[in-house]
Structure 1
Amino acid sequence: MTQKGLGKGIKALLEDFDLADESKITKISIDKIKPNPNQPRKHVKEETIKELAESIKEKGVIQPIIVREKEDYYEIVAGERRWRASQLAGLKEVPVVIRNDISEVESLELALIENIQREDLNPIDLAIAYNELIEKYNLTQEELSKIVSKSRSAIANTIRLLKLPEEIKNLIINGKLSEGHGRVLLALEDEKEITRLANECIAKQLSVRELEEIIYFKSQEENQEKNVSHETKQDKKDNDLANVEEDLIEALGTKVVVKGSLNKGKIIIEYFSREDLERIYLKISK
């Protein structure tokens, strides 16, 4: 199923969510709540959950969790981090807003947008979320940029990170490499070289700028090697053709020019009189 005009639907849902009537907030047992199995947030930093848990111990859950009622439990629509942190804080009950009017599709939309708007979402999960929205709803990057209030170029650069090898994406997810390092590594095609430089960045704590310089100088060296190799081959080819020319000049006793390569070209044989032409002809036709 593809949808255009997704932005309007999401904005309406978010407005409704932000202006949720406090009289509709209720408390339910934390054990009766389960996360959405389609939650687009693939990786959660444990330290951020611990920090949130400490905050909840002091101030409680300030923003209610949005849930949908299922057969014998409640499924989270928005607020999984708050739910996890509440568990860690030892809460028995949490405040929720029950929204049974939210469909499966709308639930996924809210989860995606909630994740995209979080500042601590790692770049790879953000790229996955962007890509899911684009593919699921047949959006262009320009349309998505208006929905999530990001520039089209920012979205394009983030999605490009998905082209990195899995090992490098995991390094970014775990915070060992930055998004900037990932973008610079995309300039390389050899996966082994990408991995080698990524590990070098971690070992030497290289900045993005330093990595750019390494890759720039590496490309310059490779270009020089290619040029030297080409010139060497060209010199060898020219020497071989020169030897052929000399042999023909000696054999025919006249000026000979060989043009082209050893595989294809033309031979120009000069003559200076009728007698010269007949002499050359006799030599060739023997």
Structure 2
Amino acid sequence: MADTVKEIELKKISPSKLNPRLEVNIERLNELAESIKEVGLLEPIIVRPLTNGFEVVVGERRYRASQQAGLEKIPAIVRAYSDDEVAQLNLIENIQREDLSAVEKGKVCKYLLDNCPGKYPSQTALAKKIGVSSDTVSLWLRTVEVVPKEAQKYVAPSTISGDVPEGKIDYLTAVKVGRAVEEPEKRVEVIKKLAERRLPAKERMQVIKRVALEPEKPIEEIIEEVAQAPY
């Protein structure tokens, strides 16, 4: 039986408490809101019923853009989902779109492993369910473990092209900082500075190595020395 699309008042819909996204791309959100103003919301979101309304399951960005566009009602499909099903759907949807950072993916994986051991008894079982390798899941979890909360916003989403947006750092470099630098506050500072300075990969590794060997030396000084050194 096909899903029924309903028109639901936006004020009756709340954002998902299980959405793993750390930040929203404002530029993309604005573009989507402008499109919705022109032609409306063409693709229904998916919601689940709550006691006093509905919660977004799939389509958080469309939901937020519709709010921004000033809509009163939007098309939605209502389905009953458990918390672990919502978390899994969020993860799979964004893995397919390469829309989340390794930190955000790691947080969802940790939630599923901690809260649904019967369904996901191991990293291997979870990896198989979401269609990635167990090594990938392990690395996502490692990113959450070694990258301090204050630095997680600097970790960029993974993309096929490998492009890292300005002001971000790739998750492999972030993990290397976490492994090499012991003090959490120092990790935050190193990740932040490397995100601000778009150094080549070889120079980033030199900075991390130098910080680990000379923890008392100012990071800016180390970065300048590495950037000016002939390699």
TM-score under structure 1 length normalisation: 0.60
Partner of 1:148: 130
TM superposition shift of 1:175: 5.0
2:77 to 89, 94, 97: 97
Matched, 1:206 2:199: yes
What secondary structure sits across from 2:132 in the alignment?
coil
Corresponding letter in the other structure for 1:121: L
Percent of aligned pairs with the same residue? 32
Higher Cα Rg: structure 1 or 2? 1
What secondary structure sits across from 1:186 in the alignment?
helix
Q: What do residues 121-143 of structure 1 show as CA deviations (whole Å, max 9, x unaligned)?
A: 12221110111122222232222
Q: Distance in 2 between matches of 1:105 and 1:134?
A: 10
Partner of 2:113: 134
Matched, 1:106 2:85: yes
What secondary structure sits across from 1:187 in the alignment?
helix
**193-202 or 45-54: bigger deviation:** 193-202
TM superposition shift of 1:33: 1.4
**44-53 or 83-92: bigger deviation:** 44-53
* Map 1:1-286 → 2, pairs under 5 A: 21=2, 24-99=4-79, 101-138=80-117, 139-162=121-144, 163-172=146-155, 175-191=167-183, 192-216=185-209
Cα RMSD, aligned residues only? 3.0
Q: Distance in 2 between matches of 1:169 and 1:107?
A: 23
Q: What do residues 217-242 of structure 1 show as CA deviations (whole Å, max 9, x unaligned)?
A: 677899xxxxxxxxxxxxxxxxxxxx
The 1:68/1:201 distance shift into structure 2, 3 A limit, reads closer
The 1:83/1:219 distance shift into structure 2, 3 A limit, reads closer
TM superposition shift of 1:79: 1.6
Judge conservation of contact 1:116–1:129 (CA < 8 Å) in 2: no
Corresponding letter in the other structure for 2:152: K
Count of residue pairs brought into register by the alignment: 201
What secondary structure sits across from 1:96 in the alignment?
strand
What secondary structure sits across from 1:182 in the alignment?
helix
The 1:81/1:212 distance shift into structure 2, 3 A limit, reads same
Unaligned runs of 5+ in 2: 157-165, 216-231
TM-score under structure 2 length normalisation: 0.72
Q: Please identify which structure carries the higher helix content.
A: 1
Unaligned runs of 5+ in 1: 1-19, 223-286
Judge conservation of contact 1:43–1:125 (CA < 8 Å) in 2: no
TM superposition shift of 1:57: 3.1
